[in-house]
Amino acid sequence: MRFVFRKAAAIAALVVFGLALLPRSTHADTVYAVSFTTGELIQYDSTDPSGTRATLLAGGSLVSPAALIYGPDGNLYIGEDGDGSTFAPRISKFEPATLTLSTVYEFSGFEVFPASFAFQGNDLLIGRNPFFGNTGPIVKLTNATGGTPAVSDYTTGGSLASSPGIALATDGRLYVSDQTYNFTSSIASGPVKRFDASGTSVGELIADGSSGLAGPTGLAISGNTLFTASVMNGDILQTDLTTDITTTFASTGSTFEAGPLALLPDTSLLVGSPSGNGSIYHFGTGGTLLSTFASGLGQVGGIATVTAVPEPSTLGLAAAGAFASAFWLRRRRASNRE
């Protein structure tokens, strides 16, 4: 019986080893995107954008959405800029579980046109849209995910022409694209600024025109790396926040092709086009262009990502099965001895 047990255990081990050599299944990450042009919200899986594209809100459901984020409560928060006259800018909430859209907060005085988001706990930090000439500090919407919402200024010092990109680091520091947009020349410019954990300005991180920066737009942060979209040349810059050294990470190759940014869990990067062609670019961790998705959204107003919950791996199940088989044989051997 000892030989039988050892033989069975060896076979089980070979099964595990063989299964380990098989390619493990990849799990798609859910991506959401809104169209500033059509006012629709779509969803797709990162591994098959065209084959999984689904419209969650039809065109006209949203009015000029220019910001999108996945909240800590599992809902999507959308910054609608309105029409400048009758439909006021607002923060809306879309619940994927029920497919319902509701208003969280309305800027009835047209004082803030949302262009970028960052969650700080359950509070929402909001940047302003340069294409509405919306200057002023980053504002905080407290109790955005529940309770009574209230708006207050969050940043102080370092006056901001606008803020189409904001990113909150784990240490509480806030990075802001301080973009100035010239409506006559259609040229965007400006630096990327840094604020401490209290919202106080501590100066520029990337100066206007330095390191290839030409019109800072979307921002995204991964660990100690800050990604910045440079809208006038289509580049994406990367800044090592331990050294503040900025280099070029990737490029879309064209003006007005780098706008909103979003990171997938593997730290590859999605870049939305604000030009009107609806392109969403997917860059690998080394800056290589992996794919381009023709989303059909026109001007991409915002992108948000969600990690899919992985299923148990084949290797894990095989190992469990092998252990169970060995345990059963061990029990049988002990029984035969009795």
Convert the pLDDT of each residue in 262-315 to its tens digit.
999 999 999 999 999 999 999 999 999 999 999 999 999 999 999 644 444 333
For the chain, give percent helix, strand, coil, nearest 5. Answer: 15, 40, 45
CATH number of the domain that residue 142 is part of: 2.120.10.30
Q: How far apart are CA 60 and CA 82, in angstroms?
A: 11
Q: Which of 124, 31, 123, 37 is nearest to 81 (CA)?
A: 37
With respect to residue 179, please indicate whether it lies within any of the assigned structural domains: yes
With respect to residue 43, please indicate whether it lies within any of the assigned structural domains: yes
Listed in sequence order, the residues at least 6 apart from 79 whose beta carbon sits closer than 8 Å to its beta carbon are 65, 66, 67, 68, 89, 90, 91, 92, 114, 115, 116, 117, 126, 302
With respect to residue 129, please indicate whether it lies within any of the assigned structural domains: yes
How many other C-beta atoms are found inside a 10 Å radius of the C-beta of residue 158? 17
User: What pLDDT is attached to residue 218?
Assistant: 98
What residue numbers bound the domain in which 42 lies? 30-306
How many structural domains does the chain have? 1
User: What pLDDT is attached to residue 11?
Assistant: 45
* pTM, entire model: 0.85
With respect to residue 16, please indicate whether it lies within any of the assigned structural domains: no
Which backbone phi and psi does 258 adopt, to 5 degrees? -125, 105
Q: Which residue type is seen at 266? A: D
With respect to residue 88, please indicate whether it lies within any of the assigned structural domains: yes
Q: How far apart are CA 262 and CA 31, in angstroms?
A: 9
With respect to residue 218, please indicate whether it lies within any of the assigned structural domains: yes
SS3 326: helix
Q: How far apart are CA 269 and CA 281, in angstroms?
A: 8
User: What pLDDT is attached to residue 330?
Assistant: 41
SS3 46: coil
Convert the pLDDT of each residue in 33-66 to its tens digit.
999 999 999 999 999 999 999 999 999 999 999 9
With respect to residue 324, please indicate whether it lies within any of the assigned structural domains: no
With respect to residue 106, please indicate whether it lies within any of the assigned structural domains: yes
Which backbone phi and psi does 196 adopt, to 5 degrees? -80, 180
